[in-house]
Amino acid sequence: MKRIVTVQDISCVGKCSLTVALPIISAMGVETAIIPTAVLSTHTMFSEFTCKDLTDQIRPITKHWQKEGLGFDAVYTGYLGSFEQIDLMAEMFDTFRTQRNMVVVDPAMADNGKLYPAFDPAFAKKMATLCGKADIIVPNITEASFMTDTEYRETYDEAYVKELLQRLAALGSRISILTGVGLEPGTTGAMGYDREKEEYFRYTHKRLPASYHGTGDIFSSSFTGALVNGLSWKDALEVAAEYTAECIRVTMEDPEGCWYGVNFETVIPYLLTLLERKREERKQS
Q: Candidates 42-50, 181-189, 199-207, 230-238: pick the segment binding ligand PXL (CB under 6 A).
A: 42-50
31-42/51-53 β-pairing: antiparallel
Pair 224, 217: CB distance under 8 Å: no
- Spell out the SS3 assignment of 182-193: CCCCCEEEEEEE
Instruction: By CB under 6 A, name the one of 5, 25, 40, 58 that touches ligand PXL.
Output: 40
CA distance 178 to 131: 13
Does 11 interact with ligand PXL (rule: CB under 6 A)?
A: yes
Does 45 interact with ligand PXL (rule: CB under 6 A)?
A: yes
Instruction: By CB under 6 A, name the one of 17, 145, 148, 222 that touches ligand PXL.
Output: 17
Pair 190, 161: CB distance under 8 Å: no
Our CA angle for 134, 136, 137, nearest 5°, is 90
CA distance 75 to 92: 9
Measured from the CB atom, is 72 or 79 closer to ligand PXL?
79
Shortest distance in whole angstroms from residue 71 CB to ligand PXL: 26
Instruction: By CB under 6 A, name the one of 216, 240, 262, 263 that touches ligand PXL.
Output: 216
Shortest distance in whole angstroms from residue 79 CB to ligand PXL: 4
Does 217 interact with ligand PXL (rule: CB under 6 A)?
A: yes
CA distance 243 to 272: 9
Does 108 interact with ligand PXL (rule: CB under 6 A)?
A: yes
Task: Summarize as ranges the residues that interact with ligand PXL (CB under 6 A).
Answer: 9, 11, 16-17, 40, 43-45, 79, 108, 116, 213-214, 216-217
